[in-house]
Structure 1
């Protein structure tokens, strides 16, 4: 048994603590619970196969993470008897016209050979999109990926915290003390990594999401929607949805909602749900951390300091799997992921 300190209780830090306890170690997590942490504000979309990013290291990470999710969630919910908000109703990517739809379908469908967990991939006419998501405006065709899923960050974080403490881990909601002793400290501090006087260099974006309610005669369960541009629409409850997100580079940690971004997101909600009355529920703000090449950093700073950061917009997809893999690495066990690919010692691949 070894002793570890984790600074940061977001999904990556909490998953690492949980999996280290599974290996029998003594673990303390320090978490300040800063306003604007990305875990609570993120949409939690698990649908990496539709991305157009060409970075092979990033794609290996997120596809392995998506494959890891179902068994991980099943075990966590069984242990804690808590709901993580994980649903697997598929995902629809919308396209502006039929010509672009064909290109999108060909690109996405080609990935099935290497990722059977995607399930079926099919083209949807405008009418078929409307059948799967009756609230949408029906203006766009789409590609449906059967394996697309969603998890609610706040619920997943609470379940991981519960499982960690139940396993004997210590969770301290305060500033971490200065590093002391000979044991390893792991920093999983997200956007607040800028406060550390060692690498990797971290920058962050401010992202805002609008939650709104749709007035409808019945409750409709819907797939995740990847709308035009970097926009998503996800179900958050009975006829409640979230639409986002904005992307603003910033040095600030002001988590106050922006009226300008509220107007922008409200306009998008009305555009995609034109035939239904919608009511605002809340705006949420999160700060997403990025490192070099938009790749996560996973590795040692020195022999007493390990860093996990820069997960960006894929934190909820990749965080649980990264925690699992790093726990195995720190326990002297083999990993399915080559962590050397994420220590930024090589150029982008």
Structure 2
């Protein structure tokens, strides 16, 4: 039997995971990665979605499955001989709430959700400073044992290496799309090729990619910035991540870095220039709960562009009017949590003809329309 030809446009967290799992099964996927402004490379994220106050259940199912999937994901990389420890660590999460009512709600939610999502682990109300010494002495927190963190840049670096080791191909180039009947032709430097299956996983660049084919895509870019501080005394402390109300998550890594982020800027389009005023606003926000930490000088910063739908819903499914062309976009700031699961699921769809995604919960026609 002739093997399916598979193209994935976009080498971020969704596309790279899909290509990795397809290559792992013996396929030879072709990954096209322009890389400009890629959200994953510029991101460090907290994997602790279970206590979000968002009421969108379709979204919650993806992030909750995503958090569980990380355990399998890292085990698969480990079995293949890749340094998964650099990508994902579980040292718990501290959620700082406005009031005692918030802590009581967390404990109640934990009792309800733990049987469904065992990665949550133990949940309890604690004195925050006992777990992260830079926090103010009077702060309480909900401690979630299963809370973790992921380094997006390390994840992409290792996945790209694994894809090529396992027989996949990566082209670090931008592409253009041409429609041929109800299919798609991918054009790179004047040469065109068609594939049996195509995944468009370009995040915020989906409207630009599909515009020449007369599609209107209701996804917009959201700029995200974070900054990094570093100290040898931060190494190997195994501190939990800290989630205060609003912006300013604190993400300590055991290599001595602490990442503070990230901004959510809706009016910057695809602008990747750093805005020091926004980084200073992050620092000021952190100073309200961890003043000593905020006093450390900024070592460096990262800027990326997330894909956000008009109502913050996830956009996934087959592109209307294009046979065997699929897309995943609109993940926003939860992309590091749900992205690997979605990439894995698309690989499953290609290899087995079905996936564990109920696409009726994600009406793609509301976000992608042929003009």
TM-score w.r.t. structure 1 length?
A: 0.90
Look up the match of 1:288: 306
Q: 1:211 to 1:218 in 2, by over 3 A?
A: closer
Q: 1:252 to 1:287 in 2, by over 3 A?
A: same
2:339 corresponding residue in structure 1:
319
1:271 positional shift: 3.1
Give the alignment partner of residue 91 of structure 1, picking from 74, 90, 93.
93
Taking a change above 3 Å as real, the CA distance of residues 43 and 138 of structure 1, as seen in their structure-2 partners, is farther
Structure 1's unaligned 5+ residue stretches are none
- Kindly state the Cα deviation for residue 329 of structure 1 after the two structures are TM-superposed: 1.0
Whether 2:345 is the aligned partner of 1:336: answer no
Moved more, 5-14 or 137-146: 137-146
Q: Which residue of the partner structure matches residue 5 of structure 1?
A: 7
Post-superposition offset of 1:23: 3.2
SS of 1:248's equivalent in the other structure is coil
Deviations 1:116-168 (A, max 9, x none): 221111111xxx31111112223321111111111100111111111111111
Helix, strand or coil: the match of 2:50? helix
Q: Look up the match of 1:189.
A: 202
Separation in 2 of the partners of 1:339 and 1:285? 32
Asked if the contact 2:148/2:241 (under 8 Å) is kept, the reply is yes
Q: Secondary structure at the match of 2:349?
A: helix
1:165-314 correspondence to structure 2 within 5 Å? 165-178=164-177, 179=185, 180-181=193-194, 183-195=196-208, 196-197=210-211, 198=215, 200-213=217-230, 216=233, 220-250=237-267, 252-275=269-292, 277-301=295-319, 302-314=322-334
Measured after TM superposition, the shift of residue 304 of structure 1 is 4.1
Aligned to 1:148: 147
**1:136 and 2:135 are equivalent in the alignment:** yes
Q: Is the 8 A contact 1:137 1:275 kept in 2?
A: no
Decide whether aligned partners of structure 1 residues 176 and 120 sit closer, same or farther in structure 2, where only a CA change above 3 A counts: same
Contact 1:89 1:223 in 2 (8 A): yes
Deviation readout 1:92-128 (Å, 9 max, x if unpaired) = 101233343323433444322322221111111xxx3
Residue in 2 aligned with 1:161? 160
Name the CA distance, whole Å, in 2 between partners of 1:259 and 1:230: 16
Cα deviation, residue 216, structure 1: 4.8
Matches of 1:101 and 1:281 in 2, distance apart?
34
Indicate the SS of the match to 2:285.
helix
Larger CA deviation: 251-260 vs 217-226: 217-226
Q: Deviations over 1:195-243 (max 9, x none)?
A: 0223542112111112123585975321011112243110134442111
SS of the residue 1:299 aligns to: strand
Report the number of matched residues. 343
Q: How far does the alpha carbon of each residue in 1:245-301 deviate from its partner, in whole angstroms, 9 at most, with x for none? A: 221113522211112112212223333332455121112111110125322222111
Shift of 1:19: 1.5
Cα distance, 1:169 vs structure 2: 0.5
The answer as to whether partners of 1:200 and 1:297 remain within 8 angstroms in 2 is: no
Partner of 2:78: 77
Structural RMSD (CA) = 2.3
Match of 1:101 in 2: 103
1:3 is displaced (CA, Å) by 0.2
Structure 1 residues 242 and 88 mapped into 2: Cα distance closer, same or farther (>3 Å)? same
**C-alpha distance in 2, partners of 1:29/1:162?**
12
What is the DSSP-based 3-state SS (H/G/I as helix, E as strand, rest coil) of the residue aligned with 1:40? coil
CA separation of 1:231 and 1:111: change in aligned 2, threshold 3 A: farther
The CA deviation at 1:15 is: 0.7
> 179-188 or 279-288, which moves further after superposition?
179-188
Residue 113 (structure 2) pairs with residue 111 (structure 1): yes
Q: Tell me the secondary structure at the aligned position of residue 206 of structure 1.
A: strand
TM-score when scaled to structure 2? 0.85
Is the CA contact 1:220–1:238 (under 8 Å) kept in the aligned structure 2? no
Corresponding residue of 2:189: none
